[in-house]
Amino acid sequence: SSSLFIKQSNDENLIPIEEIDVSDMITPNLESMQNHSHGKGYYGEQMVYRYLQKKYSSKPGVSVKWLNQDDESHFPHDIELIKDKKQYYIEVKSTEINDNHMFQLSFSQIAAILEHNTYYSIYRVYINAKKLCVLNNIRQRLNKEELSCTMTINIR
């Protein structure tokens, strides 16, 4: 079991990046996940959806909608959360490797981060470790160097 070392900024306006243990929740059987057509992305989304349902189950006026539950929606986010009459957009990035902290973003996901700013979060799911890492205020965290971007040249 590994723990993340996350560089936190001194900005008191930014809530520290959360690492959440979800081992008490139902998690997928990894063998069936690998043989299933949906794969790890689907199961990561399922873990986040269940986590959010549990977290907000007793809160009136909160709704959680999993956009890819039946079919891939092709939206730049996987889950929509309505809380305090505000809509939040959640993208889920899943990995089976506990120390894999890198993931790809599509152009539409980058555009959504810039457009929705504080209302767009990425939940990094570490399936084997049964942990979630919540990345919110992404634009500000990039500016404060808590997060960084890399580019890959795709040679065809």
- For the chain, the structural domain boundaries read 18-151
Angle of CA points 94, 99, 101, to nearest 5°: 55
Question: What's the whole-model pTM score?
Answer: 0.85
Q: Is residue 75 classed as helix, strand or coil in its secondary structure?
A: coil
133: its two tokens: 């890492």
The side-by-side arrangement of strands in the sheet containing 79-83 is 18-21, 131-135, 120-126, 86-95, 79-83, 63-66
**Could you report the per-residue pLDDT of 103-141, keeping only the tens digit for each?**
999 999 999 999 999 999 999 999 999 999 999 999 999
Q: Which CATH number describes the domain made up of 18-151?
A: 3.40.1350
Q: Is residue 6 classed as helix, strand or coil in its secondary structure?
A: coil
pLDDT above 80 for 32 = no
